Homo-oligomer: A and B are copies of this chain.
Amino acid sequence: MRENLVFCDCDVIHGDVVEAARARMIDEGELYDLADFFKIMGDSTRVKILCALDAGEMCVCDLAVLLNMTKSAISHQLRSLRQANLVRPRRDGKVVYYALSDDHVRDIFEKGMEHIREVP
């Protein structure tokens, strides 16, 4: 435990608490993945896209019209959402339709809403 003091600018006040917390900590890699996942949800444009797709699949152009943004901007964000496995593309001719790829999104949306609505 002492070796932590090398990197920290203070003494350990509650060594037992720290060790207990350390023992219960989720795997560090998973925590990074979790943060990355929330990071994707942490942008209003992407949140709007997800909210829109919750009503049914839409093409890039539809989303651009709905959100008053360029296709390019939408496409960039859809790329992030695709890489995070939150949306799924389906090509039909020249048009690419996007849909939610995961039911968890809905759940997480709801939990988030509960939180922000409960707080003054």
Contact = CB atoms under 8 A, between A and B. Distances in A.
A115 B102 contact: yes
A102 B120 CA distance: 13
Give the number of copies in the complex.
2
Contacts of A102: 115, 118-119
Given A21-B52, A21-B56, A32 B44 contact: yes
Interface in A103-120: 104-105, 107-109, 111-119
Interface residues of A, number: 70
A111 B103 CA distance: 10
A26 B52 CA distance: 9
Given A14-B59, A35-B41, A62-B17, A9 B112 contact: no
Interface in A1-17: 4-5, 7-14, 17
Nearest to A72: B9
Given A52-B25, A55-B24, A38 B8 contact: no
